Amino acid sequence: MALSALLATFLCTIVLPVLLFLVAVKLWEVYTIRGRDPGCPSPLPPGSMGLPFIGETLQLILQRRKFLRMKRQKYGYVYRTHLFGSPTVRVSGADNVRQILLGEHKLVSAQWPASVRAILGSDTLSNLHGAQHKTKKKAMMRAFSREALELYIPIIQEEVRAAVDGWLATDPCTLVYPEMKRLMFRIAMRILLGFEPEQIQRDQQQLVEAFEEMIKNLFSLPIEVPFSGLYRGLKARNFIHSKIEENIKKKVQESDTGSNHRDALQQLIDSSKQSGEPFSMQAIKESATELLFGGHETTASTATSLLMFLGLNPEAVDKLRQELKDKEEQGIDIHSLNIERLEQLKYTECVIKETLRLNPPVPGGFRVALKTFKLGGYQIPKGWNVIYSICDTHDVAEIFPNKEDFQPERFMAKPPADSSRFQYIPFGGGSRMCVGKEFAKVLLKVLLVEVVTKCHWTLLNGPPTMKTGPTVYPVDNLPTKFTSYAQNSV
């Protein structure tokens, strides 16, 4: 009797729950692939849909790039999964990505996860379509024109120089990633949103903390209950909106002074007035928040990666300094920068390109299938999410030999004529290519000029472990010792 009771207890407490779990997983797999189109002869992509309800979202959040590489190695360039509440197909490789990026409005449409749409809002450039997307993009592009960028350079130099001086005065070390986020946040607030330095100084700490909380919860399960990721993200977003609204009201009330300096926020306000539609404070706030994310988070990520790769490759720093020395000998004043002088820094631009190849700040983009279509021999069912991977596409690009090595020189030569332009896509592609890419390039070039002419730096922990959440960053914040370059060159 005792043995029978023990066996029954074992079956009830161990075996039965395991069997029920396995059945639940199988039913979940069947349920999540119900969208397969029976009219399409091609099979679904290989892959796994993960655990019931949460899919493979937790693995992605915890492992990020390691998880993505493992999946690609196991299933190839096109595979299925279940992320952020939706069945998803992840795509990499130039030919596959080309089909997705050029298939906008025909095969796919931009659609970020529900948590991103809830936090950033429905009136952001990334979530608009058709004529609305075209109109808003045109307004933003005016803020990133060549003339506008020329006006931004003195402000960028002012902020970068102040930051570099602070790093040189810090002892014993500087945590580069948090410092870059603060620097890029100040630049974005001044240039993109038109905040005055005094405003930023007063509200910076609260805004930075709120922004960090919003970004941390941007990609979360779409469940809004107290203390959930989405709940915390929305709460932080509301605080940011309250501060931006103050600035919008101020701009709306101010008369036009005739100044040529027109920040991106002012361009959006003017465009809204010219459209003839009722002014929407909510729409402007959402667009401003998106600008702040795009103009601060991604540039901070790339700026940190720049100093990391250069710290690990001092020969590249020597070449940067030599390029600047050569320009000075040609009579070009590198201490008074403008667009034309920045464009002449070819090796500097190659360093930025190589950094973006190895560590693209945004790992990919989100789409939704408008209809069932074939990709790489598989069917992509209508309604499924599609993620095109930037980092994986760079990893497998055939035009880059010795992919793991930091070699800026590879970009000095023009790529072969028959190579696919979709093998290198740090700013995305198609109609939704990043509108601020030229702004980012100018900002990063100014940063490099200031840092290499003034600083020598050493990474105190060596090569860091990189994670993504949602942009690429070093888990140790990249502790670095900065000293005067003049001091070290004596």
264-287 as b/e, with b when 16 or more CB fall inside 10 Å? bbbbbbebbeeeeeeeeeebbbbb
Best-predicted range by mean pLDDT among 100-114, 325-339, 350-364? 350-364
In a domain, 9, yes or no: no
Residue 97 located in a structural domain: yes
By mean pLDDT, which of 107-116, 231-240, 252-261, 325-334 is the weakest? 252-261
Where is average pLDDT lowest: 151-165, 233-247, 474-488?
474-488
Residue 487: per-residue pLDDT: 46
The reply to whether 15 falls in a domain is no
Q: Which of 20-34, 125-139, 205-219, 304-318 has the lowest mean pLDDT?
A: 20-34
- Position 138 confidence tier, pLDDT thresholds 50, 70, 90: confident
pLDDT of residue 307: 98
Kind of pairing between the strands at 108-110 and 455-459: unpaired
Give the burial string for 345-383 (b: 16+ CB within 10 Å, else e).
bebbbbbbbbbbbbbbbbbbbbbbbbebbebbebbbbee
Task: Please indicate, yes or no, if residue 262 is contained in any of the structural domains.
Answer: yes
Residue 154 lies in a domain: yes
> Which of 239, 282, 312 lies closest to 460 in space, CA to CA?
312
Find how far residue 24's CA is from the centre of its chain: 36
Residue 368, classed as helix, strand or coil, is strand
C-alpha pair distances (Å), 30 with each of 37, 115, 264:
14, 25, 48
Residue 11 — pLDDT band, cuts 50, 70, 90?
Answer: low
The rounded distance, in Å, linking the Cα atoms of 86 and 78 is 16
Torsion (CA) 341, 342, 347, 352 in degrees, nearest 10:
180
pLDDT of residue 405: 95
Kindly indicate the confidence band of residue 197, based on its pLDDT and cuts at 50, 70 and 90.
confident
Give yes or no for residue 488 having a pLDDT over 50: no
Q: Check: CB of residue 481 under 8 Å from CB of residue 173.
A: yes
DSSP string, 282-320: HHHHHHHHHHHIIIIIHHHHHHHHHHHHHHH-HHHHHHH
Residue 150, classed as helix, strand or coil, is: helix
Q: Given pLDDT bands bounded at 50, 70 and 90, which one contains residue 347?
A: very high
Annotated binding residue 434: yes
- Identify each DSSP E strand in 252-411 by its residue range: 364-369, 373-375, 378-380, 385-389
Q: State the CATH number of the domain containing residue 468.
A: 1.10.630.10
Give the model's pLDDT for residue 35: 61
100, 108 contact by CB (below 8 A): yes
Question: Is residue 96 pLDDT above 90, yes or no?
Answer: yes
Residue range(s) defining the domain that contains residue 124: 33-489
Residue 348 has pLDDT above 90, yes or no: yes
Judge contact between 90 and 65, C-beta under 8 A. no
How many other β-carbons are positioned within 10 Å of the β-carbon of residue 112? 21
User: Domain total for the chain?
Assistant: 1
Establish if 20 belongs to a structural domain: no
Region 186-194 average pLDDT: 89
- DSSP class of residue 12 equals I
State mean pLDDT over 126-133: 81
Helix, strand, coil proportions of the chain in percent (round to 5)? 60, 10, 30
Please count the CA atoms within 13 angstroms of the CA of 373 that sit on its side-chain side. 17
Give a yes or no: residue 21 inside a domain.
Answer: no
Q: Average the pLDDT over 420-432 and give the result.
A: 87
Cβ neighbours of 444 (radius 10 Å): 22
Separation of first and last alpha carbons in the chain: 89
- Within a domain: 1: no
Q: How far is CA 484 from CA 209, 289, 456, 463, 490, in A?
A: 31, 37, 6, 22, 10
Whether residue 178 has pLDDT greater than 80? yes
Cβ count within 10 A of residue 407: 18
Mean pLDDT of 300-310: 97
Mean pLDDT of all residues in 374-379: 94
> Is 48 within 8 Å of 28 (Cβ atoms)?
no
What count of other Cβ atoms lies within 10 Å of the Cβ of residue 343? 12
- The stretch 363-377 carries a mean pLDDT of 92
pLDDT tens for 34-52 read 566 777 788 999 999 888 7
- With contact defined as beta carbons under 8 Å apart, do 51 and 22 qualify? no
pLDDT at 490 over 50: no
Please say if the pLDDT value at position 489 is more than 60.
no
Which three-class secondary structure state does DSSP give residue 468?
Answer: strand
